[in-house]
Amino acid sequence: MRDVERGARLIVLPGAALSDADDATLARALIARDPHAPRVLWQRFAPMVFRMLRRTLGADHDLDDLAQEVFLCVFEKVRALREPKALKAFVISVTVLTTRHELRRRWVRRWVKLSGKTDAAELEVVTPDTDAREALTRFYKILDRVNTTDRTAFVLRFMEGLELAEVATALGLSLATTKRRLARVWARVILLVERDPVLVEYGPKLVAPAPTPEDKP
């Protein structure tokens, strides 16, 4: 019996087992409302969720709130998960839905001029390297010109390195449609980069491992 008084805060201390459990076990624990599960969920997926949010939206203070939305949504909707072992894919899907919603919200705000701030402007806080910052700002301005689904697909495939099937699942699209969209967005972004002389000149100088050929759609 764990019948605590109304209003009492009963804190069942975490056991070590769940933190080492696989995703399916964690999903079942979340569904069963195991009090240890939310913490393990956060610790396991928060780095990925924040990374996806950052790479899709740019570094932004609002990411904290969006991450909360993602995790609370996962917590609330996990009962609908048919395949517990697909917990990671489920978290990715929720993150994608949240980012797409946020992108649309920002687009509307810019359109009605509620905020002059672009997503790219947020990148100013990321890197102290002036050239890299300028390049990234221009790059995200290009991504601002791509529709939300294509932008999300681009980030998942080329920045997150997800498999095509994973991208398709996260976006709720067929594999063929996903391939077409990726080919289209790649061509469009290439075109926009090509028209920006600063990026054409600076981009290749960026010191980092380039995506492998199979990264291309």
Partner 1 sequence: MSKVEDRSQAADAHRALTGLIASARDQLGGEMSARENAGLMRFEQAVARRTLRASPRPLLWALGFGAVAAGIALFAVKNSAHDSALTFNVVNGSVSDGGYVRASAGGGTEVHFSDGSNLALDPGTSTRVTDVDAHGGRVLLESGHAHVRVTHRPAAKWVVDAGPYSVHVVGTEFDVRWSGSDEVLDVHLHRGAVIVRGPLASGGLAMEAGQRLVANVKEGEIFLDASPARPGESAAALLAEPGEAPQPVQPSKIEPPAAVPAPAHHTSRSRAGALHAAPATTADEASWSKLIAQGDFRGVLSDAERRGLERTLTAGSPADVTALADAARYLRRGDLARRAYLAERERFPRSAGREAAFFLGGLSEDESGVTARKTALEWYERYLAESPHGTYVPQALGRQMVLVHKLRGVAAARSLASEYLARFPDGPYAAPARKLLESE
Residues interacting with partner 1, by CB under 8 A? 1-16, 33, 35-36, 38-39, 42-44, 46-48, 50-51, 54-55, 58-59, 61, 63-65, 67-68, 71-72, 75-76, 123, 126-127, 132, 135-136, 139, 158-159, 189-191, 193-194, 199-206, 208-211, 215
Q: Which conformational region is residue 33 in: left (phi greater than 0), alpha (psi within -120 to 50 degrees), or beta?
A: left
Crossing angle (nearest 10°) for helices 87-111 and 23-31: 70
| Closest separation in Å from C-beta 147 to partner 1 | 18
| Closest separation in Å from C-beta 131 to partner 1 | 10
User: Which CB, 172 or 216, lies closer to partner 1?
Assistant: 216
The string of DSSP letters for 21-40 reads: S-HHHHHHHHHTT-TTHHHH
The CA-based dihedral angle spanning residues 104, 73, 54, 49, taken in that order and rounded to the nearest 10 degrees? -150
The CA-based dihedral angle spanning residues 28, 170, 216, 107, taken in that order and rounded to the nearest 10 degrees? -140
User: Which CB, 51 or 105, lies closer to partner 1?
Assistant: 51
User: Which CB, 165 or 190, lies closer to partner 1?
Assistant: 190
User: Which CB, 112 or 206, lies closer to partner 1?
Assistant: 206
| Closest separation in Å from C-beta 12 to partner 1 | 5
Amino acid letter, residue 16 = A
| Closest separation in Å from C-beta 119 to partner 1 | 12
| Closest separation in Å from C-beta 207 to partner 1 | 8
**DSSP 3-state of 81:** coil
